[in-house]
């Protein structure tokens, strides 16, 4: 097994996920890509020409406890450790005001965003506890810090992620493990394009605030990497707003 640090990333084939993968890879980590889409994940790996000794992928639905258990066991068997877990996997679902918000839509958002983040932490934490070290970075959102219209499911799911992160940070810091979250505003991804289309339907208006633009996925990756790095060893339990000042307006 390699002596390199190991980073596990969910939602690895998404716009932000890809940049996070590249950030850790460039900084010498072995990276494990987890995603529900094999085609997208393989295409990304082939495009970037990653060293196959340092980058592996596994197909997994984060909302399936059985799949999460099996995948974490395989990662430990192959890599021997998990230094960093980044829970990027998430969905926005369909936007609607609360009366029209479909329950199936609401449940699926929670299955991925909340239950998926919980399951990954629950089953990776024992590996980190055994090592007596590790860092977890989760994804909140501006939507999880206020009450944007048409987002009762998505926004509240991100509130839950922020809350879970703080609980884990409190429970495990003395065991050498830190947990933090970042809360992006608008980010230039396919998810943003989907959101803007939904906004047209609901009559909501996208407000980019004082930056006048969405953030770039690489800008999110930089912050994620910092929070997991040795330069942030006393940063624990925070939710770092990474929106360029969007919420100031």
Residues 6+ positions from 166 with CB-CB distance below 8 Å: 179, 237, 239
Task: Write the burial class of residue 151 (CB in 10 Å: 0-12 exposed, 13-18 middle, 19+ buried).
Answer: buried
CA distance 61 to 110: 13
Residue numbers annotated as active site? 154
The DSSP symbol for 144 reads G
Measuring CA to CA, how many Å separate 208 from each of 102, 127, 163, 184?
27, 40, 26, 12
CA distance linking residue 244 with residue 191, whole number of Å: 18
């Amino acid at each position: 097994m390699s002596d390199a640090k190991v980073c596990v990333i969910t939602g690895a084939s998404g716009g932000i996920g890809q940049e996070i993968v590249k950030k850790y890879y460039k900084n010498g980590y072995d990276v494990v890509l987890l995603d529900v889409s094999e085609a997208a994940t393989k295409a990304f790996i082939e495009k970037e020409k990653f060293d196959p000794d340092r980058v592996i992928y596994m197909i997994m639905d984060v909302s399936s406890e059985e799949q999460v258990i099996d995948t974490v066991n395989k990662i430990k068997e192959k890599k021997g450790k998990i230094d960093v877990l980044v829970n990027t996997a998430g969905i926005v679902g369909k936007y609607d005001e609360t009366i029209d918000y479909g329950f199936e839509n609401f449940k699926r958002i929670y299955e991925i965003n909340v239950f998926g983040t919980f399951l990954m932490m629950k089953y990776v934490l024992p590996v980190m506890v055994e090592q007596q070290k590790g860092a977890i970075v989760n994804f909140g959102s501006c939507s999880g810090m206020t009450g944007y219209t048409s987002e009762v499911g998505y926004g509240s799911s991100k509130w839950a992620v922020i809350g879970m992160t703080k609980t884990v940070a409190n429970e495990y810091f003395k065991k050498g493990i830190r947990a933090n979250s970042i809360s992006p505003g608008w980010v230039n991804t396919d998810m943003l394009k989907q959101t803007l289309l939904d906004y047209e339907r609901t009559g909501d208006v996208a407000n980019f605030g004082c930056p006048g633009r969405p953030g770039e996925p690489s800008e999110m990756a930089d912050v994620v990497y910092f929070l997991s790095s040795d330069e942030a060893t006393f940063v624990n339990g925070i939710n770092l707003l990474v929106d360029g000042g969007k919420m100031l307006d």
